[in-house]
Chain A
Amino acid sequence: MIEAKNIYLSYDDNKYIIKKGNFSIKQKEFIFIGGNSGSGKSTLLKSFYGDIPLKHGSLKIDNHEVFGIRGKKLRILRKDIGVIFQDYKLINEYTIEENIMIPLKINGYSHDVSKDQANKLLSHVRLSHRAGYYPNELSGGEQQRVAVARALAHNPKIIIADEPTGNLDDYSADVVWNLLKGANEQLGITIVVVTHRVPKNLGIKFRQLSIEDGIIYEVS
């Protein structure tokens, strides 16, 4: 599913944030990527959807080679991925229903099909009663549930989440973890989560990677 071979990441040529990164993630796995602040967790995640180019090495996501990816190939890769961010990244001018419809419309679904699917997902994240609300009218926890619904909307093979519970209280965080757990267990979606706080009692088998001094290693 995801295979990294000797990858190097940096924002400039002087200092590598990730060095000699080697790891592989199988389909349907639930992976946590940990490490201290500034260790490069989010940078690694950004490279998964081509937001940061690889300096060296090979990173394959569902047979898409990420090294040097751009243009149409990058758009195709991104269409196969669901993304969740700490700051939700919802479009404030769109209602939450319209926000969930975004990946569906980009993937070519008609307006009616997108709307139906968005409403099913709103029901799944228990926000049906807020379909016509705008993101800034919702609490942080509710916004993140919308973001999860949006990530699930087009039935991606992989969901990557960057500190999805970083801004949430414990109750909202539990709701989000349960949604991600359900996506992994019931839909077989590979989940990769960057977090510095791995939830206790997730109730699911997961693997954990950690980054220290730019080196990625597996936590046993």
Chain B
Amino acid sequence: MKFLKNIFAFLIPLLSMLITFSIYLLIDNVVENYKSKISRDYSIVIVTNTPLIKENIDELAGIKVEKIQTLQKDKIINNIKNNLSNNSIELLKQKLPHFYQIYLEVFPTTSELEDIKETLLRNKNVRKVEVFYKNHNQIYLLLVLLNSVSFILFFIITIFAIIIIAKQIKLWFHEHSTRIAILRLHGASILYSASTVLNYAIISSFLAFLISGIFLYYVSHNMLVLFPLELHDIVDVKVNLNYELFKIFILSFCISIFTIFGVLLKYKINND
């Protein structure tokens, strides 16, 4: 019973942190998935007088440019060539401006698209900029907001969890102080002396990982537990569970080991 009580005191703050982290990971997956879904629902076409030096445009409105595709003039000419003589076609080829389509790495918001248009038009070589997009702005911004909020929540809970875990480790040290002192008197290292405390922490971390792993598995297969039915199309994502579970495992053990070594270091400084 005492063992369970000891484990729970460590497990609960760690578990709260891992579950918040799992929620953050799920929302992040939803955002990433939505981003890739809408990533081609916009188009930026520019018309220039002279050929564009693509390498000069690597970022627009703070968004990295993925690629700049040259649009072939031949298609335009093909459509009208039946009515033109060969000479006229050659002349037209020389006189026609250059057309390019720009792809960005991240889906731009409406204001970012406007900003991009203005930036491009400042270039004297650019004759015209046409921007076409489907408005995903509100949903996208709401998802980004949700993602940020879940991360901030995770961050705050992590700080509190570390404080509570550190307090619990100190309590364990206090409970086992006689044993630790006796072992130290016989020449044991601090790690050996505190092995019981380390075992508690490792068991708690593993249990926390296991429970949060089950939570992540369940919610990733039943997203509507977290999100309303109306968002089904948006939140219906395929989560790379192995990768996300690995992140939770690393976080669980890193936080425990980081905290326990912090307390051990303090104990060593005070007692050596």
Answer yes or no: B186 CB below 8 A from chain A CBs.
yes
Could you tell me the distance between the alpha carbons of A153 and B22 in the complex, rounded to whole angstroms? 51
Quick check: A106 and B192 within 8 Å, CB to CB? yes
Quick check: B189 and A93 within 8 Å, CB to CB? no
Residue of B178, B182, B186, B272 near A79 (CB, 8 A) is B186
Answer yes or no: B228 CB below 8 A from chain A CBs.
no
Q: How many A-B residue pairs have CB under 8 A?
A: 41
> B interface, how many residues as a size bin?
10 to 19
CB nearest to B179 among chain A residues: A91
Answer yes or no: A5 CB below 8 A from chain B CBs.
no
Chain B facing A: main interface SS: helix
Answer yes or no: A141 CB below 8 A from chain B CBs.
no
9-residue interface stretch from A7-15, A22-30, A69-77, A210-218: A69-77
Residues of chain B lying within 8 A (CB to CB) of residue A89: 178, 182, 185
Could you tell me the distance between the alpha carbons of A83 and B185 in the complex, rounded to whole angstroms? 8
Residues of chain B lying within 8 A (CB to CB) of residue A164: none
Known: A70-B272, A106-B192. A51 touches B185 (CB 8 A): yes
Q: For residue A52, give the distance in angstroms from its CB to the closest CB of chain B.
A: 13
Answer yes or no: B164 CB below 8 A from chain A CBs.
no
Answer yes or no: B44 CB below 8 A from chain A CBs.
no
Could you tell me the distance between the alpha carbons of A76 and B184 in the complex, rounded to whole angstroms? 11
Scoring B residues 254 to 272 as 1 if CB is less than 8 Å from chain A, else 0, what string do you get? Answer: 0000000000000000001
Quick check: A91 and B187 within 8 Å, CB to CB? no
Residues of chain B lying within 8 A (CB to CB) of residue A92: 178
Answer yes or no: A115 CB below 8 A from chain B CBs.
no
Could you tell me the distance between the alpha carbons of A22 and B109 in the complex, rounded to whole angstroms? 84
Residues of chain A lying within 8 A (CB to CB) of residue B185: 49, 51, 78, 83, 89
Interface residues of B (CB under 8 A from A): 178-179, 182-189, 192, 272
Could you tell me the distance between the alpha carbons of A70 and B189 in the complex, rounded to whole angstroms? 11
Residues of chain A lying within 8 A (CB to CB) of residue B182: 89-91, 102
Q: For residue A168, give the distance in angstroms from its CB to the closest CB of chain B.
A: 20
For chain A, residues 73 to 113, give those with C-beta under 8 angstroms from any C-beta of chain B.
74-79, 83, 89-93, 102-103, 106-107
Residue of A51, A71, A83, A93 near B186 (CB, 8 A) is A83
Q: A77-B187, A91-B182 known; 16 other A-B pairs, CB under 8 Å? A: A51-B185, A70-B272, A71-B272, A74-B272, A75-B189, A78-B186, A78-B187, A83-B185, A89-B178, A91-B178, A93-B179, A102-B183, A106-B183, A106-B186, A106-B188, A106-B192
